[in-house]
Amino acid sequence: MSIHILPSYVIKQIAAGQIVERPASVVKELIENSLDAGATRICIDIELGGIKCIRVLDNACGISKSDLKLVLTSYATSKITSLDDLTTINTLGFRGEALASISSVSRITVTSRTAKQNNGWQLYAEKGDVEIINLKPAAHPCGTTVEVIDLFYNTPARKKFLRTARTEFTVIDEIVRQISLAYFKVGISLTHNGQIKRQYHINNKNLTSEKRLSNILGYNFINHAIPINNHKNNIYLNGWFINPNFAYKTSSVQYFYVNHRIVYNRLINNAIRQVVQTIFGVNQPFAYILFLKIDLDQIDINVCPSKKEIRFYQSRLVHDFIYESLITAIYSKNIEKSYFASTKSLINHDNIKEINTYRQYGNHEYAKCHNFLDYEDNKNIPIIPTEISTDLSQSLPTIYKSKFGNILKIISFSFALIEKSNNLMLLSLPVANVILIQQHLQSIKDKLKSQPLLIPSRITLNPLKLQIIKKHFELLLKIGITCNFESNTLIILSVPMILKTKKIQVLIAALLNYFCENDNKILSINNLIQFIVEYLKNDTPSEWKEQQALLLLIELEKYCPNVIESPPASLLQIINIEKILKKLQNENF
Ligand SMILES: Nc1ncnc2c1ncn2[C@@H]1O[C@H](COP(=O)(O)OP(=O)(O)OP(=O)(O)O)[C@@H](O)[C@H]1O
Ligand SMILES: [Mg+2]
């Protein structure tokens, strides 16, 4: 066959394959367009799992008649004008290809009116913009309706992969849920075959974000949620993390949003998984809804056409920030012991879906049931309490019972006053730290694997220093530090677990000093372990906080269980209350 240029609708159909995977992808793109246009109400009507019809109606700014002619053209967008705009993009769409792609694999009608126009305009097309069949005036409130009929009617190969209408609707429902969780200030309703399935109200003054969350996921979810709220420089993380004893019921809820966009990113998953493993152990179920807010120039969202993937310019920083925020929040809930005890009736208010009042498009009642007129009209939707749990002790995660006892206070900057079975004890935190360090280093000796750095650390060194590092290359390898060399740059690839959170540049500088001071000696692995112990000892806090102490004790429990059985005297001293009491009682004034 000779080379020829494909017809433009075939090019579009091929491109559409990446964006329009199934009906839920269409729903996602249409809702995102409505949100970008500033909608506060969006209603979504689905027929036959979206295979027959998807209709999305919004009350946003609308599309003018002249723009309407362009909406189905590939790479036509109002959201960016140049590549540079991508670094400041704060809309969900920007590629100008969603509607073009959808229109190439369906029959599409776009009806819209702007506030400036007296009437709306309607566009009908098949096979994308190639066959715009009609552009005519139409009655429409301010906003836009996009109707997608017979999805994949002209691409049977793709149609074959669709599941049953019921399954396709479940995927749509999930997409709508994910988006609704990130846009509390937008009212969203969803119908299937004429029945209202979801109605997420606008979060007005009387409704807190927790209320909306309960509305979407049920009160059980919020009752077991640990709130997350942290920020560092210009990065903010908030949301909820669910304790594992409840998470098995909600494991499908693992949502991470970056600047209000739900994303998938291995680095984020990795950070969350590490937290769960550190605190609760491997293979524990967990659930979360987390929102990361970060400067737009710190991310790249233009990774794939579906815009679900994201890259961070400072991925290490983001990873560690997420890790630290979750660890701290979960541990501080342990300190605030009353938190779980206060978990009372677990009422599920999630059952608002069966309201069988479907009304036809254009009908006043229809708009009313989709919340287009007034939220107040609809607030009496039945709320059905379905589940009351009484055994609260079952929802306490095991982690909240420290085997050492409860830390009551930090005394003299570095001693933890601990209470256990009516005994009071003093525990030396610096000693506990050294025991832990030694245990970790023992593990290195036993060839436990070192931790690869997410971003290799590059350090420029003069030739003499590079030579020193090269000389000790094998030794460094034995304690888990792996590195590479590139002209005058040292590239650190991995470090032992225990040094993961330390500043690599400072560590290398200290190592270089150590090597220089011992230039005339043949150093062994034990010398290096000793060096690291000293290094870490000097790096411990001079003034401990309760949270740090708790984290340390939990690590100690995990890695040095024998220390709990028989703690050395330098670590733990029981306060002899009886002796003190006796002394007090016998004391004469
Ligand atoms: N509901 C809507 N309200 C107002 N304008 C809309 C709506 N839907 C689409 N548009 C307009 O149509 C344009 C094309 O939409 P389309 O979804 O194809 O591209 P995009 O949103 O710009 O980028 P992407 O392909 O990444 O979604 C948008 O840029 C916007 O100007
Ligand atoms: Mg779009």
pLDDT in tens, 492-521: 888 877 777 677 888 888 999 999 999 888
Structure confidence at residue 120 (pLDDT)? 95
Q: At the topology level of CATH, where does 209-341 sit?
A: Ribosomal Protein S5; domain 2 (3.30.230)
Q: Is the pLDDT of residue 79 over 80?
A: yes
Task: Tell me what the mean pLDDT of segment 81-90 comes to.
Answer: 81
Task: Tell me what the mean pLDDT of segment 468-474 comes to.
Answer: 91
For the chain, the domains span 8-193, 209-341, 451-495+503-538
Q: Is the pLDDT of residue 336 over 70?
A: no
- At 171-182, the pLDDT tens digits run 999 999 999 999
Give 71's pLDDT tier (boundaries 50, 70, 90). Answer: very high
Residue length, the chain? 589
CA of 240 to the centre of ligand 1 (A): 32
Residues with CB under 6 A from ligand 1: 29, 33-34, 37, 58, 60-61, 63, 71, 76-79, 93-100, 144
Q: Is the pLDDT of residue 219 over 80?
A: no
Find all residues with CB under 8 Å of 550, minimum gap 6, and list them: 331, 334, 335, 402, 407
Tokens representing 338?
């009353």
Q: How far apart are CA 323 and CA 330, in angstroms?
A: 11
- Identify residues whose C-beta is under 5 A from ligand 2, the ion: 33, 93, 98
Q: Which ligand is nearest to the CA of 98?
A: 1
Task: Calculate the average pLDDT of the chain.
Answer: 80
Structure confidence at residue 255 (pLDDT)? 93
Give 250's pLDDT tier (boundaries 50, 70, 90). Answer: low
The identity of residue 474, as a single letter, is E
Structure confidence at residue 131 (pLDDT)? 60
Helix (H, G, I), strand (E, B) or coil at 183: coil
By most ligand atoms within 8 Å of CB, the mutation choice from 77, 91, 101, 121 for ligand 1 is: 77
Structure confidence at residue 401 (pLDDT)? 47
CA distances from 368 to 41, 51, 364, 372, 456 (A): 11, 26, 6, 6, 57
Closest C-alpha to ligand 1, atom 17:
98
Q: Which atom of ligand 1 is nearest to the CA of 34?
A: 1
DSSP 308: -
What percentage of the chain has pLDDT greater than the value 90? Answer: 37
Task: Tell me what the mean pLDDT of segment 443-451 comes to.
Answer: 59
Find all residues with CB under 8 Å of 77, minimum gap 6, and list them: 93, 94, 95, 96
**Helix, strand, coil percent values for the chain (each to nearest 5):** 40, 25, 35
Structure confidence at residue 589 (pLDDT)? 62
Q: Which ligand is nearest to the CA of 99?
A: 1
Location of structure tokens 């029945």: 195
137 bridge partner residues = 121
CA of 298 to the centre of ligand 2 (A): 22
Q: At the topology level of CATH, where does 451-495+503-538 sit?
A: Ribosomal Protein S8; Chain: A, domain 1 (3.30.1370)
- At 344-396, the pLDDT tens digits run 222 222 322 322 222 223 333 333 333 333 333 333 322 222 222 223 233 33
CATH architecture of the domain with residue range 8-193: 2-Layer Sandwich (3.30)
Our measurement of the distance from residue 427's CA atom to the centroid of its chain's CA atoms, rounded to an integer in Å, reads 37
DSSP string for residues in 405-473: -EEEEEETTTEEEEEETTEEEEEEHHHHHHHHHHHHHHHHHTTPPPEEEEEEEEEE--HHHHHHHHHTH
Nearest CA among 105, 550, 31, 450 for reference residue 260: 31
Q: Are 287 and 247 within 8 A, CB to CB? A: yes
Q: Which atom of ligand 1 is nearest to the CA of 102?
A: 18
Structure confidence at residue 248 (pLDDT)? 57
Task: Tell me what the mean pLDDT of segment 530-555 comes to.
Answer: 80
Task: Tell me what the mean pLDDT of segment 153-164 comes to.
Answer: 88
CA of 145 to the centre of ligand 2 (A): 14
Give 332's pLDDT tier (boundaries 50, 70, 90). Answer: low
Structure confidence at residue 457 (pLDDT)? 79
Nearest CA among 405, 404, 451 for reference residue 556: 404
By most ligand atoms within 8 Å of CB, the mutation choice from 12, 34, 35, 36 for ligand 1 is: 36
- At 100-158, the pLDDT tens digits run 999 999 999 999 999 999 999 999 998 655 566 678 999 999 999 999 999 999 888 88
CA of 482 to the centre of ligand 1 (A): 49
What percentage of the chain has pLDDT greater than the value 70? Answer: 81
Q: How far apart are CA 137 and CA 124, in angstroms?
A: 12
CA of 136 to the centre of ligand 1 (A): 20
